[in-house]
Amino acid sequence: MSSIAVPGALAPRRAWLTDLPVLLVAVVWGASYLAAKDITTARTVIAVLVLRFAIVLPVLVTAGWRSLRALTAAQWREAGVLGLILSGIFLLETYGVVHTSATNAGLIISLTMIFTPLAEAAVTGVRPSRAFLAAAGVSVLGVVLLTQGGGFTRPSPGDLLMLLAALARTVHVLAMSRIKSVQGADALSLTTVQLGAAVAVFAVLATGADATPWSTAAGFGAREWAGLLFLSAFCTLFAFFVQMWAVRRTSPSRVSLLLGTEPLWAAGAGIALGGERLGALGLMGGVLVLAGTAWGRRSAG
């Protein structure tokens, strides 16, 4: 017997069947920081980014060819602008994770959930609630402690790059919500154009570089190829299609809540698989970041 899916009011069994793939997306995204760190060096960042997204782009173009042809010139242009911002996000994140721990990277990037409502409030002139401001303060304190796990020292370049990446993600979210021409665009075609623009940026940056995509790929062993395919197939293709599938079967807030567990999985992967250690201060900071972002998400909602 079939039933009508009501967002936010699914039967327990059906809700679980919808939640599980979304939770798996949060898991693979959390593990992506360690995977990127494992296969990338400061010298090969751009080459790895070209390879990662060039692999999935033909699949996205094939799947969304009809919707791509339906885009207007304005939608192509504005999606391309969003793609330029996206390329900056990936550059900051990938260079950042090379120069810090996967645990720090996953926890610091979660500040996007705090930065976005603050930036939106600044743009609209609507003052955030006191509870949200308190949550933001808890998160910032958590990041300070997290980056000082070995004693109070200057934050690493990677920590600062991840902080900039969180700010860039905020700019991207605000741009998507305020550029009218892309708001009615199909999600698949919009993502495809953005990734295409980002790959074009990476390809230009890779021109003449010591570590070209081809030489980097030729130097990969089985471990590096496995990591690259994990980033391409699971962290990009699988994640995108699951999100598109899930938001049609449950509420966006439920999807957001499940994806908000990403920093937990990033910390878990870094500690369990990467052998990373936080120390007492770092552990306290990680807990505060998670608590602050969860509190802030509820307050902003």
pLDDT in tens, 57-70: 999 999 989 999 99
Distance between CA atoms of residues 209 and 193, nearest Å: 25
- Go through the chain and tell me how many residues it has: 301
Going by pLDDT thresholds of 50, 70 and 90, the confidence category of residue 16 is low
**Given the structure tokens 């192509």, which residue do they identify?**
76
Which residues in the chain belong to E strands, given as ranges? none
Q: What's the rounded Cα separation, in Å, for the pair 58 and 62?
A: 6
The pLDDT of 150-176, averaged and rounded, is 84
Q: What is the mean pLDDT of the chain?
A: 84
In the predicted structure, residue 50 carries a pLDDT above the cut 50: yes
* Arithmetic mean of pLDDT, 205-212: 86
Q: What angle do CA 250, 240, 189 make, to 5 degrees?
A: 105
Does residue 93 contact residue 272 with C-beta atoms inside 8 Å? no
Stronger pLDDT, 227 or 130, i.e. the higher one: 227
pLDDT at 220: 95
The tokens of 186 are what?
A: 């199909």
Sign of CA dihedral 102, 103, 104, 107: positive
Checking if the pLDDT of 233 tops 90, the result is yes
What is the rounded average pLDDT of the residues 32-58? 95
Percent of the chain with pLDDT over 70: 88
Judge whether residue 56 has pLDDT over 90. yes
- Residue type at 119 in one-letter notation: A
Residue 150 pLDDT > 60, yes or no? no
Distance in Å from the first CA to the final CA of the chain:
35
pLDDT of residue 183: 75
Which residues are within 8 A (CB) of 85 and not within 5 positions of it... i.e. 6 or more apart?
A: 168, 171, 172, 175
| pLDDT over threshold 50, residue 4 | no
Query: CA-to-CA distance for 296 and 115, rounded, in angstroms?
Result: 10
Q: What separation in angstroms does the CA of 272 have from each of 34, 147, 267? A: 11, 19, 8
pLDDT (mean) for 246-272 = 76
Structure tokens at 256: 């957001």
Which residue type does 131 have?
Answer: A
- Arithmetic mean of pLDDT, 257-276: 82
Distance between CA atoms of residues 72 and 180, nearest Å: 12
Q: How far apart are alpha carbons 147 and 130 in whole angstroms?
A: 26
Q: 13 pLDDT exceeds 60?
A: no
- Is residue 151 left, alpha or beta, with left meaning phi > 0 and alpha meaning psi from -120 to 50? left
